Amino acid sequence: MDGMARQRNTYEAVLRLREARFVAERPPLFSPAVAAQDEANERGAFGHFAQTLLPLEYSGWVDESAAHVRSCYIGDWTALHKVSIRGRQALEFLGRLGMRDLARFETGQIKHHVQLDENGWVASEGVLCRVGIEEFVYTAGSCDWLLWQLAEGGWDAEAIDISPDVFIFGVQGPASLDVLERLTGDGLSDIGFSRSRMSRVGGIPVRVLRTGISGELGYELHGPAEHAEEIWSAVVTSGQDVGIRQLGLRSQPVQHIEAGIATNGLDYLPASILTPGAPRQFRRGTPGGSFVPRNGVTDYFRKPGELGWGFRKGIPERDFLGRDALARDAASGTPGRVLVGLRWNAQDVGGVLTSLLGDDEAPDQMELPRVAGPSFDQVLASGDAVGVSTGRTLSVIRRATISLCVIDPAYATPGTEVTVLWGRPGTPQREIRATVSALPFKTDNRRTDVTKP
């Protein structure tokens, strides 16, 4: 059995046996680049990204979580769900499913594809790339909502799960272009932001996408999983003289908060969890934090406007799933919550981190740089609930504890003082002072002009 077939067989077995006992009945799924990564994984520790096990750290999370600003990193996002959508009505279906206009969608272009349910809640979101006239690739934490909607609609299109067949490596940071041009021997400065094209690494075809998950100049490499190990190693070698770092799972989510990007399954729960299109990739645990939902699980759902994904010029007339619900929200005249940043008071955070050294009963501790799963904390102003904080992380770049926050508009002005209630209900909770901040937390360098010398 060749490497590609073995990877697919393991992937399918993990999904089929996802409720089985770990290892004894359910095989562990590693990245197709695991052998190359293991050389630098000196601690031998792994963590779950969806159904895949990835190294937690290489050179250490403090060093790795600053690499996207100081030099660049290579990180592994192969665990993301990847689906190829093809056929005569593929574009029409995707235009109906997502809230973004796809009328001008060029081959090689990338779109942030936000998919809603009939109530206007975000059901799935990810990256949609047009790779041919009638062929698209959707990459997300889960594509199950898309697969279900396609099966229900009778569209002249098909979707194929290509997850085990394709690796995704992120190469992000100011040195990323230089590293990739040396890697491919190809001038890549013609690839504009949210664009992609094919190139080669040692004769192996790869798609180079210019993306911005780090808030810095950055790219992704998509290619055949059977060559993942050699390409991972080649990227590391190409970037040695500029100080490239290999990014472990522990540090991966930090940059998203710095860049002000909400992450599905961490900063909100997708509305698809209540449907047959529920994500298979994320099935473990319940949200932590001090927030207590009043209306059940829907309090963890978000409208696109609450995550910074709304329309600037009002709800468009074209038809898409969830449009009517958004139109009703707009017609009500009630302003929706908005996404802001929070900068947590260093003294109060320090009090939590050092509480185990004192005699008082200690509150929940803060995992560093951030908790691995979803956590929602209540935000207060004068004792009243005004928002929900998520994604608390220690940012080495900002030298601060920061988070995202969905908050009432009256409290969204940068500089506004609020309080974060820290600790699960029933535990010794602490009130932590925080200041509202504009997003992103640092300069947005995603659209850096690389065509100028």
What pLDDT, in 10s, does the model give residues 277-290? 999 876 666 899 99
Which pLDDT does position 295 carry in this prediction? 94
Which pLDDT does position 216 carry in this prediction? 97
Q: Are 338 and 442 in contact (CB under 8 A)?
A: no
Which pLDDT does position 284 carry in this prediction? 62
Enclosing H/E stretch for 8: helix 3-16
Q: What DSSP string describes 133-164?
A: TTEEEEEES--HHHHHHHHHHT-S-EEEE-GG
Per-residue pLDDT of 163-195, as tens digits, reads 999 999 999 999 999 999 999 999 999 999 999
β-strands 376-381, 384-395 pairing? antiparallel
Per-residue pLDDT of 193-212, as tens digits, reads 999 999 999 999 999 999 98
pLDDT band of residue 335 (cuts 50, 70, 90) is confident
Q: Tokens for 241?
A: 């003289």
Q: Any idea of the CA torsion for 410, 414, 419, 425, to the nearest 10 degrees?
A: 80
Which pLDDT does position 282 carry in this prediction? 67
Mean pLDDT of 52-72: 96
| Contacts of 384 by beta carbon, 8 Å cutoff, 6+ apart | none
Q: What is the pTM of this model?
A: 0.94
Mean pLDDT of the chain: 95
Residue 270 has pLDDT above 90, yes or no: yes
Mean pLDDT of 201-228: 96
Of 324, 121, 312, 122, nearest in space to 113 by CA: 122
Residue 381 has pLDDT above 80, yes or no: yes
pLDDT band of residue 301 (cuts 50, 70, 90) is very high
Q: Are 389 and 376 in contact (CB under 8 A)?
A: yes
Mean pLDDT of 22-49: 89
Question: Dihedrals φ, ψ of 74, to 5°?
Answer: -120, 125
| Type of residue at 150 | L
Mean pLDDT of 77-89: 97
Q: What DSSP string describes 32-55?
A: TTHHHHHTT-TT--EEEETTEEEE
